[in-house]
Amino acid sequence: MSASILVTYATRYGSTQEVAETIATTLRESGLEVDLQPLRQVHTIDQYRAVVIGAPLYMFHWHKDALNFLTKYRTPLTARPVAIFALGPFHADEKEFQGAREQLDKELVKFPWLTPAAIEIFGGKFDPEKLTFPHNLVPALKKMPASDIRDWTVIRAWASDLAAQFQPALA
Ligand SMILES: Cc1cc2nc3c(=O)[nH]c(=O)nc-3n(C[C@H](O)[C@H](O)[C@H](O)COP(=O)(O)O)c2cc1C
3-class SS letters over 5-26: EEEEECCCCCHHHHHHHHHHHH
Nearest CA to ligand 1 atom 1: 135
CA 80, chain centre distance (Å): 17
Which pTM value belongs to this model? 0.97
Interhelix angle 15-29/152-170, nearest 10 degrees: 50
Say whether pLDDT at 2 is over 70. Answer: no
* pLDDT number for residue 168: 77
| Mean local confidence (pLDDT), 99-118 | 98
Q: What residues line ligand 1, using a CB cutoff of 6 Å? A: 11-16, 56-60, 87-89, 100, 103, 124-126, 135, 141
pLDDT of residue 169: 72
Q: What is the mean pLDDT of residues 65-93?
A: 97
pLDDT at 1 over 60: no
Q: Percent of the chain at pLDDT above 90?
A: 95
pLDDT at 45: 98
